[in-house]
Amino acid sequence: MTTRSHSIPLAEPPEPTDHSLGPEHARVVLVEYGDFQSQACRQAAPIVRRLLDRFPNQIRFIYRHFPSEALHPQALLAAEAAEAAAAQGRFWPMHDLLFAHQAHLTAKDLQRHAESLGLDMARYAVEMDDRIYLQKVREHLDGGRRSHVRASPAFFLGGAAQDLAGRDLAAGLLELEEHLARAVRHAYP
């Protein structure tokens, strides 16, 4: 069984403002729409990191928010906290911290996470109180919906949706890893 690619394209192409790891001009781009309260996204995070370690100069990984408010009531606020951290240059440490402490995503927990990262807490408090990053998170959600994302994690490789639905997540992610390795070998012969 192989990971199935769909002809459904990524509605929002990669942008300079995306949260990304890896070279900006990599020939292979992997986009994830994720939810900080989703167990499946938490399981996917170390696999994505392993892929980046395996192909450090060949893959650009982009993370976009897709919080499922109906299933995960704290995910939206966690996404906003990640954006507040991003504004202070600390998106990826917050990303990792939120997944590592997924059971602790209340507003007070998020504040403690921000403190542990050394963020300017006065700025963090004002931005979170004013919900200034809600619009950006909603834009990610809208882009995901236009790309026919229904649940997270949702991956796009080279702009094409990778179908992991209805399958064991671990097996699906392993297949995605194999598909990505083939894409890298093809892009970097």
Average pLDDT, the chain: 91
pLDDT in tens, 42-82: 999 998 898 899 888 999 999 999 999 899 999 999 999 99
pLDDT for residue 34 is more than 90: yes
The count of domains in the chain is: 1
134 assigned to some structural domain? yes
Question: Residue 13's pLDDT is what?
Answer: 92
Residue 47, CA distances (Å) to 43, 53, 96, 155 in order: 7, 10, 13, 13
In a domain, residue 19? The reply is no
In the beta sheet, which residues pair with residue 9? Answer: 160
CATH of the domain at 98: 3.40.30.10
Domain of residue 87 covers 4-12+32-187
User: Which residues, 6+ apart, have CB-to-CB distance to 133 below 8 Å?
Assistant: 79, 80, 83, 84, 87, 127
Percent of the chain with pLDDT over 70: 94
Looking at the domain assignment, is residue 17 inside a domain?
A: no
Please determine, for residue 167, whether its predicted confidence score (pLDDT) is greater than 70.
Answer: no
Residue 137 lies in a domain: yes
* 32, HSE (Cβ side, Cα atoms, 13 Å): 27
Q: What is the pTM of this model?
A: 0.91
Least confident range of 51-65, 112-126, 172-186: 172-186
Domain assignment of residue 95, yes or no: yes
Is 43 inside a domain boundary? yes
Strand partners, 60: 29
Listed in sequence order, the residues at least 6 apart from 18 whose beta carbon sits closer than 8 Å to its beta carbon are: 62, 63, 64
